[in-house]
Each structure stands twice: as structure tokens, then as C-alpha cells.
Amino acid sequence: MTVTLTEIHNLPLDWDVLLLDKTSRVSVNFRELGKYTFFSSAGETVREFRIVVGRNEFVETNDLDLAGAPQDFVLSQNYPNPFNPSTQISYEIPVASQVKIVIYDLRGQFIWTLIDEQQSAGRYVVSWDGTNAGNERVASGIYLVRMEAGRFDCIRRVILIK
């Protein structure tokens, strides 16, 4: 399922809208991503969200219902895995960091850069739609997701099935 916010352009430019998914412990800034896609687990009938709206400083300090800031750097396994046509990759950063998340094939060849930016401490999610830097669909197979943030460096395998 996908949650979108269509009227964000009506808010003042110094305001943010943060969606907190309490089930997956992910926070999404709608100014940055515009939408949030999640997958329900079998038997899940209720999913709890919190939306925080306000000035940037207010939003950053009011995501406490998500159990506070992360304590460690984390690159979670993507969901779903295997996937087709897209997958969600969640990650956590305990302090503001330059975050880079890149997709490679098993030979180590560059496929796509998902994130390469300075981010504040928090929980994030990014999507990969199985395309490369040329916006072409890649072949079915195993790919590597590498996250670098400060001294943190982690790789996860993801499987694309067409």
C-alpha cells in the first residue's frame, strides 16, 4: 500500500510533514520523498501511523513515539525479498551523517545510487524499482545494496525476480 500527501505544496516552505510508521519503525519526510510504500504482513489488520506537521525544528524533535533516535547505524534487509517490481530498503543513522546507498551487481559493477546526501539522525526508507542509472530495467538476479555512513559500511543481498 502507498500513503501519499497531495496538498503539501499548501504548507509554508519551512514546514515539514513526517509520517511515523510505528509497525516498521520508519519515519518518512514527505517533503523529501512525497510518498511512503509499505507491505502488510500476513494477518495484519491494523497498522498504526503518526503524522507530525510543523516547522522543521518541531518535526525533528517530535518523533519520540518511534522510541527515540536510533542507537546504531543499521541497514535492514529489503522488503519484500525477492521482489518485483520494487522493494523498500530501511536504514537507521544515530547521528547526522553523509549517507550513500548504492546498488551493484554481483560482479561489483555500479547499477544505481539511491542516496548520496547529508541526513539527520533518524529512520529512513528508500525504494529501488529495479532500474539502473540509465533508467533501464535490470535483469533478474542477485544484487548488492551497500550503505556507507561515516565509518559504517554494510552490504545486503537483494533478489529481483521478473
- Cell numbers standing for residue 160: 529481483
Q: Are the beta carbons of 143 and 77 closer than 8 angstroms?
A: no
Q: Are the beta carbons of 80 and 86 closer than 8 angstroms?
A: no
pLDDT grade, residue 83 (50/70/90)?
Answer: very high
Q: How far lies 35's CA from each of 16, 21, 155, in Å?
A: 13, 12, 25
Would you put residue 85 in left (φ > 0), alpha (ψ -120 to 50) or beta? alpha
Q: Does residue 129 carry a pLDDT above 60? A: yes
Percent of the chain scoring above 70 in pLDDT: 88
pLDDT grade, residue 61 (50/70/90)?
Answer: low
Q: Does residue 1 carry a pLDDT above 90? A: no
Query: With a threshold of 0.75, does the pTM exceed it?
Result: no
Give the DSSP letter of residue 66: G
